[in-house]
């Protein structure tokens, strides 16, 4: 009887932790409500990346939403470095679409590239 209670407790713990993992965080929730086209672009990117692995889709949406918000809300951003990073990490750079609404942009990598290049540009 003691073993079965332990197994049940373990199952409940695993279920609860995986259920909390698959939740939109505040950045993604804000985008979904305030910028639905940007959220849809990130969602499209995440689904293309992870298919039917729903936990990973939610994880990717959260990661991309945070990176997009961090990048686009950055004060005193160097536009030249940003545009180069954006171009590098956007597969289908379409000119008639808003930057934040392109579903082929990897915002996590745009932010990483921007930070890397900004730091290097101020090193010399």
pLDDT tens by residue, 50-108 = 999 999 999 999 999 999 999 999 999 999 999 999 999 998 776 778 889 999 999 99
pTM, 2 dp: 0.80
Q: Each residue of 45-56: b (16+ CB within 10 Å) or e?
A: bbbeebeeeeeb
| pLDDT single digits (tens) 4-21 | 767 776 676 655 555 556
User: In terms of residue numbers, what domain contains 40?
Assistant: 24-121
3-state helix/strand/coil string of 2-45 = HHHHHHHHHHHHHHHHHHHHCCCCHHHHHHHHHCHHHHHHHHHH
81 in a domain, yes or no? yes
Strand, helix or coil for residue 90? strand
11 in a domain, yes or no? no
15 in a domain, yes or no? no
All residues at 6 or more sequence positions from 123 whose CB lies less than 8 Å from its CB, including other chains: none
């Amino acid at each position: 009887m003691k073993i079965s209670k332990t197994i049940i407790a373990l199952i409940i713990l695993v279920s609860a932790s995986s259920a909390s993992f698959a939740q939109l965080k505040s950045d993604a929730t804000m985008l979904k409500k305030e910028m639905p086209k940007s959220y849809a672009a990130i969602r499209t990117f995440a689904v293309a990346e992870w298919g039917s692995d729903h936990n990973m889709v939610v994880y990717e949406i959260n990661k991309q939403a945070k990176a997009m918000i961090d990048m686009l809300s950055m004060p005193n951003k160097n536009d030249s470095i940003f545009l180069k990073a954006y171009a590098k990490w956007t597969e289908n750079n379409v000119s008639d679409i808003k930057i934040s609404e392109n579903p082929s942009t990897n915002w996590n990598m745009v932010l990483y590239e921007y930070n890397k290049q900004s730091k290097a540009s101020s090193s010399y």
